[in-house]
Structure 1
């Protein structure tokens, strides 16, 4: 069941230990989250583990979330030695702002080094984030090469790597980290909707049904526009079946091909074909 997700492979426990051990090697931490699910895509342990390090929180895939909601998250998350920025690691939007924010966060240290005669200060940064938030794509874009292996499956990056950039930043890559248990069903659902959890361990039909239920509540017009529905029925199942008929997801004797329509719904949501959608908002 989606409400009982418990996924904590051994390599993730190892990564948690590595983060603690390697913090002394870096000046700051870059944490990458999914801008559509800012809270759900945060590893709760990062706040504790990295509390004494300057940190930049990058809200990735900002083209897939509502701009006004993302701006509200930036205002909420930016405080003390933490800054938040909206980025798109595929096309590079927002990446040019990172160096300036790091310089501001590390101003005292940089000034001390320059007073000692170090003019070209190299900032060393650890990059952390849960699987499938775009960490490897971010590193590749910053390095402008294919230094970090990219894969379609969550958690493909396995070992620590150092990657140099041309703007005076060195990045330490780490595998994606998830925490032992999702205390709230909604968190698990959000991660599954966006693909942070492998579809292979999910019931995709149930997952898609939950997605339709969420969208018909918060984005009803998007559903109707995308799937050419004149109106929405009361239940998510009825709406999912109507979408299936519109898209021809039908098997013998006019029955619904639930797996086909489920996969299609999830793919189109993840690909942004329903428009910018924010599944979480900061508390007012």
Structure 2
């Protein structure tokens, strides 16, 4: 399932991000701890590498993710050149936020005074927690917050009390998610508008993935004695056990899909991560091959 969800305001935002990249010293990218690489925008990565900008990867929503795999991803990002990373969730948010300015100044030590304050662009795909973090860093409400992807639609410039200037951007997808598993993960995690995917197919993907990676948790949540059989059979069994039935005892597929997706997003099934670095060996995440013309903009010192 290749995902295509690129609302009109994102076309404008894509060009604005490329222009602003020339004016900042570094990039702060927020990724989803449940799918860290699938939620990292490949277009942003290519833009920042073109500009030779260091990056701080904030692995957000760790309270929803597998703790052991969050540590694995932290180590993975820290091994990349010019990159720092930190874990952040509801259980450690304040401690993590205190580290952001420290890590930013470590990545860009030449911009550290009132005359030349550090300038950072804060980026992330829709619904990854960017607006909530921005409001916390600014210590006031500067961005709208919602569970619906695509709420922030314009760029802002914010000065923080730590002496860092942040450029906020809309949650930005790339035109087409070619890597099918990544598309399913993004849909399951809630980063894609509902009009861009089939909930039933996403629920099937959830069952297939969790049966492989978290079988005990899947069985416990839906009181399954076995995970034998096809994904379709397990889907119907879950629907029946949860009472998602129509007249005549027919499975309500839409209701069953919705409850499986909701259970995953709310961690009712458990804290689960959908991918590990080895899943991407030999994978080209694509998008970003056609970088905007504004790459010709000169760097702003």
Note if contact 1:213-1:235 (Cα within 8 Å) is conserved in structure 2: no
Equivalent residue pairs, number: 275
SS in 1 for 2:238: helix
Change (3 A) 1:134 1:281: same
Structure 1 equivalent of residue 154 of structure 2: 159
Structure 2 equivalent of residue 224 of structure 1: 219
| Pairs within 5 Å for 1:74-153 | 74-78=74-78, 79-88=80-89, 92-93=93-94, 94-110=96-112, 113=113, 118=114, 122-153=117-148
Deviations 1:213-269 (A, max 9, x none): 111121111111111222223211211222122211112111111111111110110
- Equivalent residue for 1:28, pick from 26, 29, 36: 26
Note if contact 2:63-2:91 (Cα within 8 Å) is conserved in structure 1: no
Structure 1 equivalent of residue 3 of structure 2: 5
Alpha-carbon offset, residue 63 of structure 1: 1.0
Change (3 A) 1:243 1:234: same
Note if contact 1:163-1:170 (Cα within 8 Å) is conserved in structure 2: yes
Deviations 1:109-129 (A, max 9, x none): 43xx5xxxx5x9743211111
Structure 2 equivalent of residue 60 of structure 1: 60
Structure 1 CA distance, aligned partners of 2:108 and 2:139? 24
Q: Indicate the larger mover: 197-206 or 151-160.
A: 197-206
Alpha-carbon offset, residue 90 of structure 1: 8.8
- Equivalent residue for 2:240, pick from 245, 252, 258: 245
Structure 2 CA distance, aligned partners of 1:90 and 1:12? 32
| Pairs within 5 Å for 1:32-47 | 32-47=30-45
Provide TM-score, normalisation by structure 1.
0.90
Q: Indicate the larger mover: 87-96 or 146-155.
A: 87-96
Structure 1 CA distance, aligned partners of 2:137 and 2:181? 33
Structure 2 CA distance, aligned partners of 1:43 and 1:176? 10
SS in 2 for 1:197: coil
Structure 2 unmatched runs, 5+: 282-301
Structure 1 CA distance, aligned partners of 2:2 and 2:56? 31
Change (3 A) 1:4 1:106: closer
SS in 2 for 1:4: coil
Alpha-carbon offset, residue 59 of structure 1: 0.8
- The alignment yields a C-alpha RMSD, in angstroms, of 2.0
Structure 1 unmatched runs, 5+: none
Structure 2 equivalent of residue 179 of structure 1: 174
Structure 1 equivalent of residue 297 of structure 2: none
Note if contact 1:90-1:138 (Cα within 8 Å) is conserved in structure 2: no
Structure 2 CA distance, aligned partners of 1:21 and 1:121? 20
Alpha-carbon offset, residue 153 of structure 1: 1.7
Alpha-carbon offset, residue 5 of structure 1: 2.3
Structure 2 CA distance, aligned partners of 1:95 and 1:211? 32
Structure 1 CA distance, aligned partners of 2:182 and 2:203? 15
Provide TM-score, normalisation by structure 2.
0.85
Q: Indicate the larger mover: 228-237 or 127-136.
A: 228-237
